[in-house]
């Protein structure tokens, strides 16, 4: 089975994307390799430990790719947290700040039941704003968030500091 080091070597650095000064961590080489992709899902699933997870929640949009696969491995349901206006049913919303304004994420009002054990998964932790909003949404639904897991964490941006959760896991840190 490929290791975290193998995943690390597959990630492509793209300078100045999406704007000058940004070094983008491109995960598409991992997604395109079945063994690396499987390994990334298994490593993320292991962050649940021995806890029986009811739902794996993925954050729009690349978080869906990983969260759905992790849900399958764990025998759990998958729940999307999406940008405002993308879900077709009654939703709960949470606004969060961006460096240039504000955005909103939503979850179906009936997607998570009180007390359900949740693993929140996303591809990347940067400043933490979107993940923090997702955590607030899940807490508002009285779920039990047992872990928050990321494939990649950009540690210099200190996103974990704004999450307000003790069980934060990242497979790769830069």
Whole-number pLDDT of residue 13: 97
Q: Would you say residue 32 lies in a domain?
A: no
Give the residue among 158, 138, 75, 157 at the shortest CA–CA distance from 148. Answer: 138
Q: Would you say residue 30 lies in a domain?
A: no
Range of the domain at 149: 49-173
Q: Would you say residue 36 lies in a domain?
A: no
Whole-number pLDDT of residue 100: 72
The domain tally of the chain equals 1
Q: Would you say residue 62 lies in a domain?
A: yes
Active-site pick, 12, 42, 82, 99 = 99
Q: What is the CATH number of the domain that holds 160?
A: 3.40.50.2020
Residue with tokens 């699933």: 45
Compute the Cα dihedral for 64, 70, 73, 75 and give only its sign: negative
Whole-number pLDDT of residue 99: 67
62 noted as active-site residue:
yes
- Residue 56 has which token pair? 């794996």
Per-residue pLDDT of the chain (174 residues; tens, 9 = 90+): 899 999 999 999 999 999 999 999 999 999 999 999 999 999 999 999 999 999 999 999 999 999 999 999 999 999 999 999 999 999 999 999 876 779 999 999 999 999 999 999 999 999 999 999 999 999 999 999 999 999 999 999 999 999 988 999 999 999
Active-site pick, 62, 102, 116, 160 = 62
**Which residues sit opposite 82 in a β-bridge?**
106
82 noted as active-site residue:
no
Cα atoms found within 13 Å of the Cα of residue 165, Cβ hemisphere only? 24
Whole-number pLDDT of residue 97: 86
Q: Would you say residue 19 lies in a domain?
A: no
């Amino acid at each position: 089975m490929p290791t975290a080091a193998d995943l690390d070597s597959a990630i492509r650095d793209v300078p100045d994307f999406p704007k000058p000064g940004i070094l983008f961590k491109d995960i598409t080489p991992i997604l395109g390799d079945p063994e690396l992709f499987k390994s990334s899902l298994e490593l993320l699933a292991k962050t649940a430990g021995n806890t029986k997870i009811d739902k794996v929640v993925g954050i729009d949009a690349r978080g869906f790719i990983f969260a759905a696969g992790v849900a399958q491995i764990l025998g759990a349901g998958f729940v999307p947290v999406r940008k405002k206006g993308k879900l077709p049913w009654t939703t709960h919303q949470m606004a969060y700040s961006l460096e240039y304004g504000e955005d909103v994420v939503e979850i179906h009002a009936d997607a998570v039941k009180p007390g359900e054990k949740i693993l929140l998964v996303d591809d990347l932790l940067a400043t933490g704003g979107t993940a923090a909003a997702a955590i607030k949404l899940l807490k508002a639904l009285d779920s039990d968030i047992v872990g928050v897991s990321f494939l990649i964490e950009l540690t210099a941006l200190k996103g974990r500091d704004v999450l307000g959760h003790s069980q934060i896991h990242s497979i790769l840190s830069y």
